[in-house]
Structure 1
Amino acid sequence: MFLGSYEPKLDDKGRLILPAKFREELASGVVVTRGQEHCLYVFSAREFESLHEKIRQAPVSSKQARDYQRVFLSGASAETPDKQHRVTIPANLRSYASLERDLTVIGVGSRLEIWNSATWDNYLNEQESAFANTEEEVIPGLF
């Protein structure tokens, strides 16, 4: 399970050093793709295979499903960490998420998210107030 927040730097070649806590689980490969709110999602190869099985089950007759599949999968890139535990973030994905040198990587259970640090700070500041003031159930049976 991926948890926590980390602030690695993107190097000049568009590579990110994976946080030490996650290296073992991601050693056999990752899939990086567009996320929502203009961040990137990073899945272990195993988790992405499971997710892809679910995506494949969406009805081809659903325009919303087709649209989602196209955006989500067309940007996906399978990457293997190198010996220094670095993963290359393709240029099109760096552009999509406005990634610069300063990054924030957050663990979100089954995936990591990579954010431009300034974008993450703004998002978190906006959401913390809503989080603190939530009065209705957001996650069924939990909160």
Structure 2
Amino acid sequence: MFLGTFTPRLDEKGRLIFPAKFRDQLASGLVMTRGQEHCISVYPLRAFEELHQKLRTAPATDKRTRDYLRVLLSGAEDVVPDKQGRITVPSHLRTYANLDRDCTVIGAGDWLEIWSTPAWETYLAQNEEGFAATAEEVVPGML
């Protein structure tokens, strides 16, 4: 499970080092793709394969399904981190997420998200207050 918030920096070649606590889960490979709210979603390879299997059950006759799959899969890149736990974030994903040197990596349970730090700070400021007020409505029986 991926938890926490980390602030690694992209180097001049667009490489990022994942926090040490995540490296074992990603060592055998990962998939990066476009995420919602213009972040990059990072899945361990096996988790992405499971997600893809679920998505394949959606009706291909539904335009929303086709649109979602096209955007998700056309932006996907499979990567194996190097021995230092570094990955190169492809330029099209850096552009999509508006990544510069400063970025924020958040654990989202089964996946990670890579955000530009200013975008993450804005998102959190806009959504943090609502988080406390809606927990019971979003997850029935939570509180």
Of all paired residues, the percent bearing the same amino acid is: 59
Q: How many residues align?
A: 143
Q: Give the AA of the match of 1:64.
A: R
* Cα distance in 2 between the residues matched to 1:65 and 1:142: 30
* Cα distance in 1 between the residues matched to 2:109 and 2:48: 13
Which residue does the alignment assign to 1:67?
Answer: 67
What is the root-mean-square deviation in Å for CA atoms of aligned residues? 1.1
TM-score by length of 2: 0.96
Which residue does the alignment assign to 1:35?
Answer: 35
Matched position secondary structure for 1:124: helix
**Kept in 1: contact 2:80–2:87 (CA 8 A):** yes
**Kept in 1: contact 2:105–2:115 (CA 8 A):** yes
TM-score by length of 1: 0.96
* Cα distance in 2 between the residues matched to 1:71 and 1:135: 30
1:19-59 alpha-carbon deviations (Å, 9 max, x no partner): 10100010000100000000000000010010010111111
* Cα distance in 2 between the residues matched to 1:54 and 1:38: 23
User: Which aligned runs of 4 or more in structure 1 are off by greater than 6 angstroms?
Assistant: none
Q: Structure 2: where are the runs of 5+ without partners?
A: none
1:127 and 2:121 are equivalent in the alignment: no
Matched position secondary structure for 1:33: strand
1:54 and 2:54 are equivalent in the alignment: yes
* Cα distance in 1 between the residues matched to 2:112 and 2:75: 16
